[in-house]
Structure 1
Amino acid sequence: MTTNGLFLMAVGFYIIMMSGHNQKAGVGLDIPLLTLGVFFVGLGFYFFRRGKKRDKAKKADSDQSTDTVAPKQVSTKKGTKK
């Protein structure tokens, strides 16, 4: 999730940079392209944060499971048969 979010953010920033590419011709910013770039950045940030939360929760669960599942010693009495 985190890598997907970072990828979407990178694509979004690239789209935002390309939206001002026509500014030299005097056209100005391409508003639909700029909006699409901002959407991709927002979506990427959402996926990135969601992935970080899942990673944190997964790490906490694995830490708890290793602490609670300790090897138990079985105390059995060895008796002799008569």
Structure 2
Amino acid sequence: MRRTVGPSSETRSTTASGRPVSVTTVSSRVRARGCARDLSKLADWDTFWKAAEANECRWSDGRRLVFDNRADGITADEVARALESLTA
């Protein structure tokens, strides 16, 4: 996931094409998944979001796929094609 803006901003770039997702959407998804490991994130969301923003990818070799997993995002067929491209 690309992290390009901070906790006070409304969006974060999450796709290779730069399609944004709102901070509200991310928070809602974390809350909805109901995992115990997320309790500290939700308890201090602004601190978590700021740390997530600063978490840059530090590797440069290899291959990486970034998917937009919103309901109106990438389709299952597009995911399958992308995964196939890794073995081609």
The verdict on a shared fold, with TM-score over 0.5 as the criterion, is no
Q: Normalising TM by the smaller chain, what interval? A: under 0.3
- Bigger radius of gyration: 1
Identify the structure with bigger relative contact order (alpha carbons < 8 Å, sequence gap 6+). 1
